[in-house]
Each structure stands twice: as structure tokens, then as C-alpha cells.
């Protein structure tokens, strides 16, 4: 005969399930609260010089350049360290996962402190919002790395890397990083519109973008579309959106989409990412022969193989 649970056993089981649900909810709530605190801390920074003083033109090239050196570049330096450390763990060239993640947490904290000193003009809100998202991402990268450093003591390297890809802090950090990238490339559009009336000041990527329509877009818009595409996939890559733009252009010109019956930009991006066909530096390798006449701000990653 089946043994029925006693009232005490049933109450214990229900209590345990309730505790588990509360613990999981508290974890994700903690991630949200932590990122909100960072945003609240830097809201005053976003509104500096918003009122009073001489009128300042929004999205000047000097603002894009300043942002590159004070916010974007420190973030990329951290990302380079992150990609390198993960690659070494995956290839067996590093066997101390705990030490690797502790160092990554240290680097994330260092770059966070560097970026907090950057002053972004309030008249360029996309850049200000991008800075806040970078700070959010670095704080979460630090927390994720610390968590993984602790987990590494009792787990194999492969198990720790599996934990990484399902870690809520890491996933949220990547999301904020990609959002900041979207905003930076969106700010370039704002700048471009002040220089050339053919460049729209804003562009919302449609859910379905036909290849024929892609070919009509200015290069600055293509780059914003690629930033959108990467963000929608929540995948952190070592290359830049403009590297992906180049590979999409080359793939279309090769005639392969017609042979493979591919009609949308999203399908091309899926194929390129799935085959790992994009590398950092793809744009600079072809700039002089293909994009020399394109309107671009004077940013280092458009003119050299910047890291």
C-alpha cells in the first residue's frame, strides 16, 4: 500500500518549496536592485550642465572622441582581458580558473572606477545613457567574476564555464554592454545627421530588413543596424558592429544570398555569426578600397586596428 504523507511532512515539503521560490526571486531582485542603484548614483552626472550656461551643440565629434577615450576604450580593454582569460581556460593554457576570475573581477572594478570620472555633456543623452549602462555592466561583470572565482574551488574548468553561460549576473552584464554599444552607434547617427542631411538622426531597425533595403542605407546606419542585431542576440563578441557591416556587404556582393535563398539581413547575420566569419579588424582591412568616401567620425577604431 502507498504510504500517504503525514500532515507534518506535507507542511515541511510546502515550506521548503516556498523557501526555494523566495530565494530565487530574491536573487534576481538583487541583480535588478544593484543595477538600479548604479543608475541612480549617476543620474546627476547625466544632467550636468543641463540648465544655464552657454548653449552647447549636441553630439559634436569631440564628444564622440572624448567618449571613446574615457568610456568606450576602458570597457574594451576589460573585454579584451575577459576574452583572453576565457580563451585560455577553454584551451587549457590556464588551469587556475579561480585566479583568472579574481583577476577579471579586479580589472572590472578598476575600469569601473576609471569610467566614473568621465564627464559626458547632458545635451548628448545617448552618450550619457551609454556611460551609465557601461558602469552597470562592469559592476555586474565584477560580481559574476567573484561568484565564479568562488565556484572554481569545487568545480572543473569545464563545469565553471558552463556555469558562466547560465549566470544571471553575466547575462545582465552582457545585455547592458550591448545596450551601451547601441547607444554609442546611435550617437554617431545623431552626429552624422548634423553633417549630411542624407543621414537620418535616428533609425529603428525593422523586424524584417530586406537585403535590397540594406543596400540603400548609409554606412553609419548599417553600423547602427548591426549594433541592434548583436544586442537582440545578447551575445558578446570581440569584433565591432562595423566589422559585421563589412562582412554583410561582402556576403551580399558575392551573390551567395540568391543561391542560398536568403532574403533578410537577420538571416545573413545568423549565418556569419554561426560560421564565425567575422573578425575584429575586418573593416580597417577594407576601408581604403571600399569605404574611403563614407561619412565617419574621426574615431580610432575606424582608422586603425584599435583594441
Q: Would you call 277 helix, strand, or coil by DSSP?
A: coil
Asked if 131 and 118 count as a contact pair (C-beta separation under 8 A), the reply is: yes
In a shared domain, residues 160 and 280: no
Q: Are residues 110 and 217 in the same domain?
A: no
Q: How far is CA 248 from the centre of its chain?
A: 20
Is 71 found in the same domain as 104? Answer: yes
The pLDDT, as a whole number, for residue 57 is 80
Strand partners, 264: 210
Task: Count the neighbouring beta carbons within 10 Å of the beta carbon of residue 237.
Answer: 18
DSSP state for residue 210 in the 8-state scheme: B
Cell of 230: 548583436
Query: For residues 218 and 213, what is the distance between their CA atoms, to the nearest angstrom?
Result: 11
Beta bridge mates, 137: none
**Residue 106, domain member (yes or no):** yes
pTM of the model: 0.84
Rg value, the chain, Cα: 23
Q: Which three cell numbers stand for residue 290?
A: 571600399
pLDDT value for 119? 94
Tell whether 142 and 261 lie within a shared domain.
no
Rounded Cα–Cα distance for residues 143 and 171 (Å): 12
Which residues neighbour 29 within 8 Å (Cβ) at sequence distance 6 or greater?
A: none
**Does 210 lie in the same domain as 123?**
no
Would you say the C-alpha torsion 74, 76, 78, 80 has a positive or negative sign? negative
In whole angstroms, give the CA distance from residue 138 to residue 143. 9
* The pLDDT value given to residue 213: 97
| Predicted local confidence at residue 7, as pLDDT | 63
Closest to 105 measured CA to CA, from 159, 149, 169:
149
Q: Chunked in runs of 10, what are the mean pLDDT values of the chain (307 residues)?
A: 56 59 52 54 46 67 97 98 97 94 98 96 96 98 96 92 95 98 98 96 97 97 98 96 98 96 98 97 94 95 71
Q: Domain boundary residue among 191, 216, 241?
A: 191
Residue 182 sits in the same domain as residue 225: no
Q: What is the pLDDT of residue 127?
A: 98
Question: Domain tally for the chain?
Answer: 2
Residue 210 phi, psi (nearest 5): -70, 150
**Is 134 among the domain residues?**
yes
User: What is the span of the domain harbouring residue 270?
Assistant: 203-302
Exposure string for 54-72, b = 16+ CB within 10 A, e = fewer: eeeebbbeebbebbbebbb
Picking from 191, 217, 247, the residue at the C-terminal end of a domain is 191
Which residues are CB-contacts of 16 (< 8 A; sequence separation ≥ 6)?
none
The set of cell numbers assigned to 100 is 583568472
Instruction: State the cell numbers at 92.
Output: 587549457
Number of H helices, E strands in the chain: 13, 0
Amino acid at each position: 500500500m502507498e504510504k500517504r504523507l503525514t500532515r507534518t511532512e506535507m507542511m515541511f515539503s510546502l515550506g521548503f518549496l516556498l523557501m526555494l521560490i523566495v530565494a530565487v526571486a530574491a536573487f534576481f531582485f538583487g541583480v535588478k536592485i544593484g543595477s538600479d542603484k548604479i543608475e541612480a548614483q549617476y543620474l546627476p552626472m547625466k544632467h550636468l550642465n543641463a540648465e544655464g550656461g552657454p548653449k552647447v551643440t549636441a553630439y559634436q565629434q569631440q564628444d564622440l572622441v572624448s567618449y571613446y577615450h574615457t568610456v568606450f576604450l576602458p570597457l574594451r580593454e576589460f573585454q579584451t582581458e575577459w576574452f583572453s582569460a576565457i580563451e585560455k581556460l577553454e584551451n587549457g593554457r590556464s588551469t587556475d580558473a579561480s585566479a583568472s576570475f579574481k583577476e577579471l573581477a579586479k580589472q572590472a572594478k578598476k575600469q569601473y572606477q576609471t569610467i566614473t570620472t568621465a564627464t559626458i555633456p547632458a545635451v548628448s543623452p545617448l552618450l550619457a545613457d551609454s556611460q551609465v549602462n557601461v558602469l552597470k555592466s562592469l559592476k555586474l561583470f565584477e560580481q559574476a567574476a567573484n561568484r565564479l572565482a568562488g565556484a572554481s574551488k569545487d568545480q572543473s574548468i569545464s563545469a565553471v564555464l558552463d556555469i558562466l553561460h547560465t549566470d544571471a549576473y553575466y547575462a545582465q552584464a552582457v545585455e547592458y554592454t550591448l545596450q551601451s554599444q547601441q547607444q554609442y552607434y546611435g550617437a554617431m547617427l545623431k552626429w552624422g545627421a548634423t553633417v549630411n542631411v542624407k543621414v537620418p538622426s535616428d533609425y529603428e531597425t525593422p523586424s524584417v530588413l530586406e537585403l535590397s533595403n540594406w543596400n540603400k542605407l548609409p554606412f553609419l546606419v548599417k553600423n547602427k543596424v548591426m549594433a541592434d542585431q548583436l544586442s537582440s542576440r545578447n551575445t558578446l563578441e570581440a569584433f565591432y558592429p562595423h566589422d559585421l557591416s563589412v562582412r554583410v556587404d561582402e556576403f551580399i556582393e558575392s551573390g551567395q544570398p540568391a543561391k542560398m535563398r536568403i532574403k533578410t539581413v537577420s538571416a545573413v547575420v545568423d549565418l556569419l555569426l554561426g560560421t564565425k566569419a567575422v573578425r575584429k579588424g575586418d573593416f580597417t582591412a577594407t576601408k581604403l578600397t571600399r569605404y574611403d568616401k563614407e561619412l565617419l567620425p574621426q574615431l580610432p577604431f575606424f582608422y586603425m586596428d584599435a583594441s
